[in-house]
Amino acid sequence: MRCHLNQPTQLGRLQGGHARSRVACVACHSVHKGFAKLAPRQAAAVNRGCAACHTAEWAEFQRPHRHKLPEAVMSCVDCHNPHGNFLPGSAQTVAANEPGCFKCHADKRGPFAFEHPPVRLQGCRTCHEPHGSANPRLLTRHEQRFVCLECHANVGLTGNAGGVPPAFHDLASARFRNCTICHTKIHGSYADRALRR
């Protein structure tokens, strides 16, 4: 660190978990084994390095629905800054201060005339398991209605956000058990505040 202390890569060091847990630089950077090992750039090599310690996280990528890390088309550093960042989990940012997810999922970035608040207030992890899931679309629940209704269950203006859907949402009908059948623009809409188009 004597030489590298004041370099841009160290910007989030004090907020990152690696520095806090005193992970040595040489745990990831092999200084005597050539350029490829000094700063691994290949996705497979990066992922191997991270998985050596983050075994539980790597196990999440063995689920059927996942980001394509085992296929080596993405690497852990696409979403996380190993040197640390001010966001939780040392998540990467894009376009200054937007969450790193929007680098690839640009169509969810907005700004929308009608935003779905959790996307901005709490982030994608409110509804999705970003590493991997047994549920389609990396959802946190096995059926859509539970993802939605666990928040949309507040009668009146209570302490938590999210009201109750109007009474015609009869859960006995399959139409209403699949919320995105109608609320197609669930991440935000430019045209409809009920997020239907």
Partner 1 sequence: MKNFVLVLLIAPLVAQSPPATPQAKPPAPQAKTEAWLTGTLDLGYRWVGKVGGDFNTYRSVVNLGEGPKLFGADLSLTDPSRRLFDRIDVRGHSWGGDPYNTARIDARKQGLYEFSFDYRNLAYFNFLPSFADPTRERGFFLNQRAFDTVRRSRDFRLDLFPGRRITPYFAYQRNMGEGSGITNLVLDGNEYPIRTRLYDRADDYRGGFRFQFSRFHLTLEQGGINYADDQSTFWPGGRHGGNVLTPYFDQRLFLESASQLYHVRSDSLYSGAMFTANPLSWVDLHGQFLYSRPHSTAKLAQQNTGNFLDFSVLAFYTAQLDTVAGEARRPHSSGSFSAELRPIRRVRVIESWMTDRLHNAGSALLGEMLLAGARTVDVERVFAAQRLVLNYNQQQVEVVVDVTSWLALRGGHRYVWGDAQTPAGLINLPYGDWSGQLRRHVGLAGASLRVGQKFRGSIDFEASPGDRAFFRTSLNDYQKARIRARYQVLPSLILAGNVGLLQNQNPAPGVNYDFLSRDNALLVNWNPWGGDYLSLLAEYSRSTLRSDILYRVPSTLGRELSYYRERAHGGTALADVKLPGSGTIKPKLSFGGSLFASSGSRPARYYQPLARTAVAFKDRLEWNWEWRWYALTQQLYLFEGFRTHQFTTGLRLTM
Please give the residues from 11 up to 50 whose contact with partner 1 meets the rule CB under 8 A: 11-15, 17, 20-22, 35-36, 41-43
Question: First and final CA of the chain: distance in angstroms?
Answer: 52
Residue 30 beta carbon to partner 1: minimum distance, rounded to whole angstroms: 14
Helix, strand or coil, per DSSP, at residue 180: helix
Cα–Cα distance measured from residue 40 to residue 119, given in angstroms and rounded to the nearest whole number = 32
Residue 63 beta carbon to partner 1: minimum distance, rounded to whole angstroms: 5
Cα–Cα distance measured from residue 29 to residue 183, given in angstroms and rounded to the nearest whole number = 47
Cα–Cα distance measured from residue 6 to residue 164, given in angstroms and rounded to the nearest whole number = 51
Residue whose pair of structure tokens reads 């992890």 in the numeric block:
125
Q: Which of residues 141-180 bind partner 1 (CB under 8 A)?
A: 141-142, 144, 146, 149-157, 159-171, 173-178, 180
- Per-residue binder mask for partner 1 (CB under 8 A), 106-125, x = binder: xx-xxxxxxx-xx-xxx---
Residue 104 beta carbon to partner 1: minimum distance, rounded to whole angstroms: 6
Total of chain residues touching partner 1, rule CB under 8 A: 112
126 contacts partner 1 (rule: CB under 8 A): yes
Residue 153 beta carbon to partner 1: minimum distance, rounded to whole angstroms: 4
Residue whose pair of structure tokens reads 């790597």 in the numeric block:
58
Angle (CA) 41-46-52 rounded to 5° is: 160
Residue 100 beta carbon to partner 1: minimum distance, rounded to whole angstroms: 12
Kindly tell me which of 70 and 130 has the beta carbon lying closer to partner 1.
70
Cα Rg of the chain, angstroms: 20
Q: Which helix (H) or strand (E) holds 98?
A: strand 98-99
- Per-residue binder mask for partner 1 (CB under 8 A), 56-95, x = binder: x-xxx-xxxx--x-xxxxx-----------x------xxx
CB of 16 within 8 A of CB of 80? no
Residue 130 beta carbon to partner 1: minimum distance, rounded to whole angstroms: 15
Helix, strand or coil, per DSSP, at residue 106: helix
